[in-house]
């Protein structure tokens, strides 16, 4: 494990896999970096892959108050560690952070994002606002379990899936990351892609989705939820390419997505 120090003094932990052009993986909600380990291993044959724990997660520190700008500065420190420029791949809400970093002018060569959950589908904007209000309340009251439940409900998980998760051995770890749900919510802003800001992104951007209509953990969402979000992202970025990976859920199979990412970054 390596470490970099962000501008505000926060220590950010990362693992480096492989050797080659630097690629930084940006995880999504309730992820301390573990979810991207298989993808890091898959990409390590062609890239030097930096898989890091976002602030407040895993081995990384945290500094209050939180701001998206501070997370962008974390990426700035990682890019400096990687040699001054890097590729970025962001998953879910981590994709929103990756795009914000590109819009902020960091030295990023190319960006890919997978299934960024902006609330474009009909009726979901109000649901997003309600979620953010309730999330702030339960976190302020220290109700970490309720925060995770709120997040799973927002993501479309059924009550059966939530009940099974609460009985599983991973639940305490999810509760431990509950405070970072507010960080992911901040990265997604008002729930819609910030088109004027994303219009400033000059790098090539790959905007990918799978087929989450078949994902049991998201069965409560409209089938076109993530597709419509991806279309809106791609429409707001000058040099964006929109692709779909058939049959892939929200947590994509690394063997399915790695060839796509490799072609995009190396072309």
pLDDT of residue 123: 80
Output the CA torsion sign for 95, 99, 104, 108: positive
Cα distances (angstroms) measured from residue 137 to each of 59, 130, 132, 212: 27, 11, 9, 29
pLDDT of residue 213: 57
158: left (phi over 0), alpha (psi -120 to 50) or beta: beta
pLDDT by position in tens, the chain (length 267):
899 999 999 999 999 999 999 999 999 999 999 999 999 999 999 999 999 999 999 999 999 999 999 999 999 999 999 999 999 999 999 999 999 999 999 999 999 999 999 999 778 889 999 999 999 999 999 999 999 999 999 999 999 999 999 999 999 999 999 999 999 999 999 999 999 999 999 999 999 999 755 577 787 888 888 999 999 999 999 999 999 998 899 999 999 999 999 999 999
Domain definitions of the chain by residue range: 2-120+192-266, 124-182
Q: Would you report the helix, strand and coil content of the chain in percent, each value rounded to 5?
A: 45, 15, 35
What is the H or E stretch that residue 232 is in? helix 225-236
DSSP three-state, residue 206: strand
Question: Tokens at residue 85, please?
Answer: 């420029």
Q: Is 121 exposed, middle or buried (0-12, 13-18, 19+ CB in 10 A)?
A: middle
Q: How far is CA 120 from the centre of its chain?
A: 17
pLDDT of residue 214: 59
For the CA atoms of 167, 172, 178, 184, what is the dihedral angle to 10 degrees? -80
Pick the CATH number of 2-120+192-266 from 3.30.428.10, 3.60.21.10, 3.40.50.1820, 2.120.10.30: 3.40.50.1820
**CB under 8 Å to 21, separation ≥6 — which residues?**
46, 47, 48, 86, 87, 265
Question: Tokens at residue 94, please?
Answer: 């981590």
29: left (phi over 0), alpha (psi -120 to 50) or beta: beta
CA-closest candidate to residue 11, choices 19, 2, 20: 2
The number of C-alpha atoms within 13 Å of 135 and in the hemisphere containing its C-beta is 22
pTM score, two decimals?
0.97
Question: Tokens at residue 116, please?
Answer: 């960024």
Q: Is 245 exposed, middle or buried (0-12, 13-18, 19+ CB in 10 A)?
A: middle
């Amino acid at each position: 494990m390596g470490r970099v120090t962000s501008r505000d003094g926060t220590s950010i932990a990362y693992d480096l896999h492989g050797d080659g052009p630097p690629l930084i993986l940006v995880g999504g909600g309730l992820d301390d970096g573990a979810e991207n380990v298989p993808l890091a291993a898959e990409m390590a044959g062609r890239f030097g892959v930096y898989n890091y724990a976002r602030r407040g997660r895993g081995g990384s520190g945290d500094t209050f108050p939180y701001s998206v700008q501070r997370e962008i500065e974390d990426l700035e420190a990682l890019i400096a560690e990687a040699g001054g420029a890097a590729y970025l791949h962001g998953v879910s809400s981590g994709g929103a952070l990756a795009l914000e970093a590109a819009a902020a002018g960091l030295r990023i060569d190319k960006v890919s994002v997978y299934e960024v959950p902006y609330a474009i589908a009909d009726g979901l904007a109000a649901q997003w606002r309600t979620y953010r209000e309730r999330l702030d309340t339960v976190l302020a009251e220290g109700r970490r379990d309720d925060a995770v439940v709120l997040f799973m409900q927002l993501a479309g998980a059924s009550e059966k899936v939530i009940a099974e998760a609460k009985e599983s051995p991973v639940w305490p770890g999810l509760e431990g990351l509950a405070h970072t749900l507010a960080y992911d919510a901040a990265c997604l802003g008002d729930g819609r892609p910030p088109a004027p800001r994303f219009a400033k992104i000059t790098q090539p951007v790959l905007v990918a989705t799978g087929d989450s209509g078949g994902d049991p953990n998201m069965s409560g969402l409209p089938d076109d939820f993530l597709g419509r979000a991806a279309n809106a992202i791609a429409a707001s970025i000058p040099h964006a390419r929109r692709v779909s990976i058939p049959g892939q859920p929200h947590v994509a199979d690394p063997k399915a997505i790695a060839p796509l990412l490799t072609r995009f970054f190396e072309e």
